[in-house]
Structure 1
Amino acid sequence: MGRDLTKSAHEGRHHEESIVVSNDNLIDRGWSKGTVAFPDLRKGSIGLCFANLIAHVGMGYADDFGPTFRSPDNAFASASGQLSYYQLMDRRGELTIVTDLDDLQQHVEAWNKPGDDDNPIGPGIVIGMEGADPVLSPNNLDLWWDKGLRIISLVHYGIGRYAHGTGSSGGLLDRGRELLRAMQAKGFILDTTHLAERAFWEALEVFDGPVIASHNNCRALVPGDRQFTDEQIKALADRDAVIGVALDNWMLNRELKEGKKDKGGASLEDVADHIDHICDVSGGSRVAAIGTDLDGGFGAEQSPREIDTIADLQKLASVLEDRGYDDGEIEDVFYRNWLRKLESAWKD
């Protein structure tokens, strides 16, 4: 947070390495080596991504997992400020905020036109919220919808205002059920990422609208409650959901510990293993997709060894091709599944 995303990831790292606090630069003090910036998205031909707003209320959260506030009002103000940044970038032409089917179709058409190297089109972004703490109440959803929010996950780490999340045991809170019903009525997409297992199953019972998992991997390959069981993957496949694979090394390789900064600890082959598993469990290439979670609290220092910036995602295509994926299946994983899901969610 606080980075100038109009500058390349390398420019951002250079700036952070030049800021010295108590004899250490910011990178040495634990800041991630940023991978995501608008120039890098363009360089990598990444035309559409999710941009998550995040602000926690201190109810069992660890401060390491994003900004934590003492009241929902503070979280609301912080998330609103983050959204204001994207709106400013939209007005300046750095990106395009996509909120409905017309926006999506127009952006895809513009992105696929021959480019102007002197005036490249910016990536499209769909605004999400990682942990619903900034939503003051179900009655507040209209305001967030009008601001452009389209995807909501109920919780991040610990216990949120609406549900139990990663690292905690429990289900939905009463207000979480009320929020889900209001989300469905308004047309929001539910992101099941970070829900505690009981909360996951309860959410699928309550919510009958469109469902995704923006960044989640497979427990069969890497143990832990942050990952999905095969039963959860099957349940999401039955709901025509899409699961984006995360690129955090400890979620890819069972030998690594959470938060471990080990650039050599995982590779794109590990990413492909999780894609393979989702395809095997779900019965095809319709569910697996790219999620990354870059730069969601980590960067190049904690990503597969082939990833220096977000532009290097294109290297995954050859890894999948070597495993026997055909062009159509690679396109499913790279973009078609996400496009199909957004189109179906917004068709009405």
Structure 2
Amino acid sequence: MTSSFDIDELFKSVDSFLLKEESPRIGVSANYREGQSCVAEPYVQAVVQAGGAPVIIPVMHDLQSLSSVVEDLDGLLMTGGGDINPLFLKEEPIPALQDVNTSRDFYDLSLIRLAMNRQLPIMGICRGHQILNAAFGGTLMQDIYAQANRPLVKHSQKMDKKEVSHTVRLKDGRIIAVNSFHHQAVDTLAPEFEEFAVATDGINEGVHHVERDVFGVQWHPEALAVNGDAEAQELFGRFIRSAKLFRQAKQIHQHIITLDSHTDTPMIFPGKFDIGKKEGGKVNLCYMEEGHIDAVCMVAYIPQGNRDKDPSLAATDYALERLAEVKRQELLYPTRMGIARTPDEIRQLKRAGKKAVLLGVENGYAIGKDLSNIARFKDEGVVYITLCHNGDNDICDSAKGKGEWGGLSPFGKEVIREMNRTGIMVDISHAADQTVFQALEHSEYPIIASHSSARALCNHPRNLSDEQLKAIALKGGVVQVCLYKGFINADEEKASLSDAVKHINYMVDLMGIDHVGIGSDFDGDGELIGCRATNELINITVKLLEQGYTEADLCKLWGGNFLRVMQQVQSASVNPS
């Protein structure tokens, strides 16, 4: 800052400044003292030093205002402060509890939740570290000296903050010296979090989410970073790099069509439902808006049942009823969404600022024994039909069937011809191996797997072999990686976002970038650590950017490949050869 008071020189300097690249916007939570929101200067300086643009967020409880602020952020820094009210953690206060500020607690917890829902990178410091762990489901010690039940080092130093007072061991084995100003601490780690720093007395000093860019430290690195400490500066550097990557992911999602090719949301509600609200499912307009997802395919899923005449007719009626319920959503929310039948309609909806919902049928059992039902589904707006589900049907053998037909039935071959004629994509997810190869043989046009992964990485019959993947690619088709944990990792409870990215990488290497996409299977039990709902799908983009995928690559993976096949199949029905 200049010491000159020449206002003309000041304005000249401001006017001539050229912003070459916008810095990531980092929300900085405020402390609350005597009715005033305030932030210690080192927090701001450390963010600026690392390349971020700090945005101080005043303490307030108005969710409209807080949401509007968080919506434009690329990262959130939770700062230090006083004790956390134990009532939020369903605990009674112990005598050693010190000053709490419930207003700040409401504000902090609201901020974290808003940031969590939008997948922002989050860094917590001291109190921010503790309340971050609590917000994600962990517990705290109200006072370490009263509750740790072991000898402790001094955790509340009297020295200046720029001085270090004790050491911590990092996960990689290194030992660093830190400053310390606390008497509360993390007790039980939040689910999906790991400890990466611990004091010599066993008190937790650092946690991070195993998949997301969320971490906290118990010490005050901001005071050390602005005084040249390399370890502290690297913590802020890591945080700002994550924020830059997240900002890039959001910008890419603005430019491209992002499409999830398979969700079972109509299945989880037996009657009417409302995708404009967060009613318990993993897919809704709110999540699509928070996660910057443009389009989802919602399918009428039909469990395989008795194949006699009456049950088959009932299956058709049920599919039509579920499709009608999805279409009713457009009447409820005409300014937020539309039903899309073609790739062009998806693009038109995006330009209008609306979300697109595509219709599909999961299990050709819904066709019954009547080929005319295919044209009927086409008229309803269905863009693909999954030939079977868990069990053989009149069309083909299932991956979980008994091999009744040895692949396609004679009726199944007619079904594929009629789907080609009407412009409905043939979906072979859930199909037996021979069904896949015969579908490729009998379809005049490329086929899709709306939600399937690589058998080479997870040996499950629902996944596709290398031979099948290459054959689908050779015919110009696309396979959408499924996020169902049993298809991603043989140890289902460990199945993670990183595992899904391995499937994407494997299939891209094997098939080529033009033949892979993403179909979550959300609301059909699809979910992974780090990606459990539609608002978390942007985390896939972040991971792929980390690995060097370009915007052009992501455009193909996030919908371009699927829409290419959709366009080709639909064009064929309009202009038959």
Tell me the TM-score normalised to structure 1 length: 0.79
Match of 1:223 in 2: 459
Shift of 1:237: 0.7
Q: Which amino acid aligns with 2:454?
A: C
Shift of 1:98: 1.2
Q: 2:387 aligns with which of 154, 157, 169?
A: 154
Match of 1:280 in 2: 509
Is the Cα contact below 8 Å between 1:57 and 1:72 reproduced in 2?
no
Q: Which amino acid aligns with 2:358?
A: V
Q: 1:59 and 1:197 mapped to 2: Cα distance?
A: 23
Distance 1:7 1:91, change over 3 A: closer
Higher relative contact order, structure no. (Cα contacts within 8 Å, ≥ 6 residues apart) = 1
Q: 1:272 and 1:160 mapped to 2: Cα distance?
A: 33
Is the Cα contact below 8 Å between 2:383 and 2:566 reproduced in 1?
no
Shift of 1:57: 4.3
Match of 1:131 in 2: 363
Shift of 1:7: 5.0
Match of 1:47 in 2: 294
Give the SS at the match of 2:513: coil
Shift of 1:91: 2.3
Q: 2:373 and 2:419 mapped to 1: Cα distance?
A: 10
Tell whether 2:327 aligns with 1:87: yes
Give the SS at the match of 1:290: strand
Shift of 1:48: 1.1
**Deviation per CA, 1:88-125, whole angstroms, max 9, x where unpaired?**
112232531111354234224324xxxxxxxxx2x212
Q: 1:144 and 1:39 mapped to 2: Cα distance?
A: 28
Q: 1:311 aligns with which of 532, 535, 538?
A: 535
What fraction of aligned residue pairs are identical, expressed as a percent?
A: 25
Is the Cα contact below 8 Å between 1:151 and 1:188 reproduced in 2?
yes
Match of 1:142 in 2: 375
**Deviation per CA, 1:134-155, whole angstroms, max 9, x where unpaired?**
1131122222211112211110
Tell me the TM-score normalised to structure 2 length: 0.49
- Of the two, which has the highest radius of gyration? 2
Q: 2:490 and 2:304 mapped to 1: Cα distance?
A: 31
Aligned residues: 297
Q: Which amino acid aligns with 1:340?
A: R
Distance 1:157 1:110, change over 3 A: same
Q: Which amino acid aligns with 1:41?
A: M
Give the SS at the match of 2:358: strand
Q: CA RMSD in A?
A: 2.2
Match of 2:312 in 1: 72
Q: 1:339 and 1:139 mapped to 2: Cα distance?
A: 25
**Deviation per CA, 1:239-261, whole angstroms, max 9, x where unpaired?**
221211111111111233xxxxx
Give the SS at the match of 1:80: helix
Shift of 1:53: 1.0
Q: 1:104 and 1:38 mapped to 2: Cα distance?
A: 15
Q: Which amino acid aligns with 1:87?
A: K
Distance 1:309 1:105, change over 3 A: closer
Q: 2:276 and 2:421 mapped to 1: Cα distance?
A: 39
Match of 2:11 in 1: none
In structure 2, runs of 5+ residues without a counterpart are 1-267
Tell whether 2:341 aligns with 1:99: yes
Is the Cα contact below 8 Å between 2:420 and 2:569 reproduced in 1?
no
Shift of 1:324: 2.2
Distance 1:274 1:5, change over 3 A: farther
Distance 1:342 1:107, change over 3 A: farther
Tell whether 2:482 aligns with 1:253: no
Match of 2:120 in 1: none
Decide which moves more: 49-58 or 209-218: 49-58
